[in-house]
Amino acid sequence: MAYSEKVIDHAENPRNVGTLDKEDPNVGTGLVGAPACGDVMRLQIRVSDDGVIEDAKFKTFGCGSAIASSSLATEWLKGKTVAEAEAIKNSAIVEELNLPPVKIHCSVLAEDAIKSAIDDYRKKQEARRIAGSTITTATSATAVPS
Amino acid sequence: MAIQLPIFMDYHSTTPVDPRVLEEMLPYFTTTFGNAASRSHVFGWKAEEAVEHARERVAKLIGAQSEKEIVLTSGATESDNLAIKGVAEFYKEKGNHIVTTVIEHKAILDTCKRLEKEGFTVTYLGVGKDGLVDPDDVKKSITDKTILVSVMLANNEVGTIQPLEAIGKITRERGVLLHTDAVQGIGKTPFDVDKMCVDLASLTAHKMYGPKGVGALYVRRSKPRVRLVAQMDGGGHERGMRSGTLNVPGIVGFGKASEIMRLEGNEEAARLLNLRERLRTKIMASLEEVYVNGSLDHRLPGNLNLSFAFVEGEGLMMAIKDVAVSSGSACTSSSLEPSYVLRAMGLGDELAHSSIRFGLGRFTTEEEVDYVADLMVRKVTRLRELSPLYEMHKEGIDLNSVQWAAH
């Protein structure tokens, strides 16, 4: 199977590889896939107080297309609001990377990873909001865009 | 000397034609082009003579009593089909039970599945962690309905050499025919149809530096005389067992390739074993969590099948794209299932996904081995830095304890 140039580029020079502090309340972590299925993606976002994704990192166990899908996802996430990030569809990844049908699941996994990271971030914010509201109700300005 | 890229390290999939083989083949495309079945003129006689000479060379390589026992085919898939279906059809009054193994090539497994639909019963024997069939299992599986046992000489993925001699003793004693798909092992490990009591053997030229599209089925003619029902109707070539005009240049090449294997196989095997061990020890000395799949003692000299934990096989192959190898990863198959051979050996899916098969052969050099070993170490290290699993492993997390969302 021949890979598209973009897949090769991302796989050989993956963007934003790394780890964010998963204990940070502004960091959302998504871990999707399973080793037995041959791909696992961990995607992390750090969201500023005004709801913009200021950093995104990933690590992926998987084929070149899986690595490329998650690398591309982190590129797209940076600078987006959480709501915009949530709107990223796997079909856009398929199109950008020119993924063949057999590799579409890689893009689905990347979309799942984004959603899962956002979900984690929101849960943390919610927990913080609840914890914060018992102290003072006025500082819950870190409203999560919904 | 500078390394020539790409490097071919996938000699189980196919091999290049040896220049000496090609040289012998060439006249049979142009000047000596006759149909070996033409009995009425010199063109036909010359072609027939060349075919018979090749047949003798093939027979000699496997220790056959007579060249008449060599039925020429288009390759091992056809030979496997002819052997199993041909025997099943001829001996169906005698019994309807066939014994084979779960690690056979698809040409055997799918043929057996078809026969199951036609009313035959097939026992698929498992293998141990070492990738070897236990002859005792063969013994226990034989019933008074068993007509055929089919066990490969050597496995194409993990290179394990099966205990055919022990199996042959059992089948001969029980009066059951023994077939072997010998394509991967021929010339690389001792093989002798008489010594191993093999009654049918599938061979192919392109795995032994001959051309693609030509192979043979060895069919024993005495003690016992094996009978087959032809699976293709036509002009009654090959003693009625396989109709179709003979591929004379291909057969000539097959004969020459067999001759070279017979004369040089031992020496080549020793050289390949050295290279294989060089590759293995270099990689394993520099990387942790690398596992050899299958027995190292009962293994083809040119085969190395390794699992690089925390790194996915196809991703790894892409990272070493100037080196041709193959992987048991699901991503390399359209089925999205990892290698059934590695699974049969009890390997977890995650390690099956992380497996790479290296196949070394006649034209592999020490420089290539060193280059590949070094490349593997660098690329596996890089991909592990990219792997969430490796990070978790380093943090001391037991990956088996994680609740993965299987998809």
Please provide the size of chain A in residues.
Answer: 146
Planar angle of CA B65, B70, B74, nearest 5 degrees: 160
User: Residue B111, Cβ neighbours under 10 Å: how many?
Assistant: 24
Lowest mean pLDDT among A83-92, A136-145, B80-89, B91-100: A136-145
pLDDT digits (tens, 9 = 90+) for A2-44: 789 999 999 999 999 999 999 999 999 999 999 998 999 999 9
Residue A145 CA to residue A50 CA, distance in Å, equals 9
Residue B393 CA to residue B94 CA, distance in Å, equals 57
- Decide: B133 and B154 in contact? Cβ < 8 Å: no
For residue A34, list chain B residues with Cβ-Cβ distance below 8 A.
Answer: 404-407
Give the mean pLDDT of chain B: 96
Q: Is B197 a catalytic residue?
A: no
Q: Which of B331, B389, B392, B399 is catalytic?
A: B331
Residue B99 CA to residue B101 CA, distance in Å, equals 7
Please name the amino acid found at residue B188.
K
The pLDDT value given to residue A2: 75
Find, among B186, B206, B213, the residue nearest to B17 by Cα.
Answer: B206
Residue B338 CA to residue B331 CA, distance in Å, equals 8
Find, among B47, B79, B77, B92, the residue nearest to B242 by Cα.
Answer: B79
- Contact residues for B362 (Cβ-Cβ < 8 A; gap 6+): B11, B15, B18, B209, B268
Residue B392 CA to residue B38 CA, distance in Å, equals 70
- Judged by CB atoms closer than 8 Å, whether chains meet at A38 and B389 is answered as no
What would the DSSP string read from start to end of B174-190? HT-EEEEE-TTTTTTS-
- Decide: B359 and B10 in contact? Cβ < 8 Å: yes
The pLDDT value given to residue B61: 98
Q: What is the mean pLDDT of residues B294-302?
A: 98
For residue A2, list chain B residues with Cβ-Cβ distance below 8 A.
Answer: none
The pLDDT value given to residue A146: 43
pLDDT digits (tens, 9 = 90+) for B212-238: 999 999 999 999 999 999 999 999 999
For residue A100, list chain B residues with Cβ-Cβ distance below 8 A.
Answer: none
Residue B304 CA to residue B359 CA, distance in Å, equals 7
- Decide: B158 and B345 in contact? Cβ < 8 Å: yes
pTM assigned to the model: 0.93
- Interface probe, candidates A58, A63, A65, A111, chain B, greatest B C-beta count within 10 A: A63
pLDDT digits (tens, 9 = 90+) for B164-214: 999 999 999 999 999 999 999 999 999 999 999 999 999 999 999 999 999
| Contacting A residues, span 100-139, partner chain B, CB-CB under 8 Å | 102, 105, 108-109, 112
Instruction: Measure the CA dihedral B59/B62/B66/B71, to 10°.
Output: -60
Distances (CA, A) of B289 to B280, B284, B295, B310, B316: 13, 8, 17, 9, 15
Torsions phi, psi for A51 (to 5 deg): 85, 15
pLDDT digits (tens, 9 = 90+) for B374-407: 999 999 999 999 999 999 999 999 998 888 876 6
The pLDDT value given to residue A143: 44
Find, among A27, A9, A26, the residue nearest to A18 by Cα.
Answer: A27
Residue B290 CA to residue B305 CA, distance in Å, equals 10
| Beta-bridge partner residues of A30 | A43
The pLDDT value given to residue B331: 61
Q: What is the mean pLDDT of residues B101-115?
A: 97
The closest CB to that of B404, out of A3, A34, A63, belongs to A34
- Contact residues for A36 (Cβ-Cβ < 8 A; gap 6+): B348, B349, B350, B353, B404, B406
- Judged by CB atoms closer than 8 Å, whether chains meet at A11 and B315 is answered as yes
User: Residue B130, Cβ neighbours under 10 Å: how many?
Assistant: 16
Please give the DSSP secondary-structure letter assigned to residue B381: H
Averages of pLDDT over each 10 residues, chain A, 146 residues:
88 96 96 93 96 97 96 97 96 96 94 97 92 60 45
The closest CB to that of A63, out of B310, B315, B338, belongs to B315
| Contacting B residues, span 339-358, partner chain A, CB-CB under 8 Å | 348-350, 353
For residue B308, list chain A residues with Cβ-Cβ distance below 8 A.
Answer: none
At B75 the three-state DSSP class reads coil
Decide if B324 touches A, using CB distance below 8 A.
no
Give the mean pLDDT of chain A: 90
ipTM of predicted assembly, 2 dp? 0.89
Decide if B398 touches A, using CB distance below 8 A.
no
